[in-house]
Amino acid sequence: MELTLAGRKAVVTGAGSGIGREIALRFSAAGAAVAVCDVVKETADKVAAEVVAKGGQARAYAIDVSDFAAVQKLCEQVAVDIGGIDILVNNAGITRDNLLLRMTEEEFDRVVAVNLKGTFNFTKACFRRMMKNRWGRIINIASIIGQMGNAGQANYAAAKAGIIGLTKSAARELASRNVTVNAIAPGYVATAMTEKLDASARDAYIAGIPLKRVGTPEDVANACLFLASELASYVTGQVLRVDGGLLM
């Protein structure tokens, strides 16, 4: 069986940079038409243009994933624009790091709203089409922080742990319609988000990684491509850690 997404229609959130951008490019290279969704229209436009320049099909959309009504409306438009929705990658995420002692209500609420509620919003907006077609792939980008916790990231850890619970519940609900739902839990990956860490924190992370290197967006996109393909048709409700062995 070939690793291909030919003819599939994919929605990728947080696709304007980093991991999301790489997923969009990888899906397009495998034959999928891609809806590039990001909170910043300019970055979404840039990635969509990259896809088209490489011979692929893409449309760019600006969206705040935490806005339930806006997400519903956008997904209806995407289905018209690219001809359906077969694959959803919930990748959009933010951090607002702080120790619990200093963390504000806004810092907690905003991280949960984007990371967890955003995943719910897009899943809710897309899954009926997949059920009707009796084929679908939902891939949620979680984090090993949602499994191990991390000082200063109680909000992020809670949101990512929630994504894992949502993934497993949705997988049970949708399996009878041939819709798989899985999560990928990246470890330390070189993105704009992790670049905010100071050098000592980065060195400490790398020291604990058995493979002794930082992960790349390509590492995560490769796993995502597998889960989106027919090769993963018997995989659902799973959390695939892409972390170089950091959490075993």
Amino acid letter for position 38: D
Nearest by Cα to 116 from 75, 62, 157: 157
Q: Is residue 184 part of a domain?
A: yes
| Domain CATH number, residue 209 | 3.40.50.720
131 vs 202, residue with greater confidence: 131
Q: Is residue 159 part of a domain?
A: yes
What are the catalytic residues?
156
**Residue 15 structural domain:** 9-241
Query: Kind of pairing, strands 136-141 and 9-13?
Result: unpaired
Q: Is residue 69 part of a domain?
A: yes
pLDDT digits (tens, 9 = 90+) for 144-157: 999 999 999 999 99
pLDDT digits (tens, 9 = 90+) for 164-212: 999 999 999 999 999 999 999 999 998 876 676 677 777 887 889 999 9
Q: Is residue 248 part of a domain?
A: no
What is the model's pTM?
0.96
71 vs 206, residue with greater confidence: 71
Our count of domains for the chain comes to: 1
Of the candidate ranges 3-7, 126-130, 187-191, the one whose mean pLDDT is the lowest: 187-191
Q: Is residue 74 part of a domain?
A: yes
What pLDDT, on the 0 to 100 scale, is given for residue 68?
98
What pLDDT, on the 0 to 100 scale, is given for residue 74?
98
What pLDDT, on the 0 to 100 scale, is given for residue 193?
64
- Per-residue pLDDT for 161 more than 80? yes
Q: Is residue 119 part of a domain?
A: yes
Bridge partners (DSSP) listed for residue 59: 35
- Per-residue pLDDT for 51 more than 70? yes
Contact yes or no for 71/121 (Cβ under 8 A): yes
Query: What share of the chain has pLDDT > 90, as a percent?
Result: 91
Contact yes or no for 246/191 (Cβ under 8 A): no
Q: Is residue 2 part of a domain?
A: no
| pLDDT category of residue 2 using cuts at 50, 70 and 90 | confident
SS3 18: helix
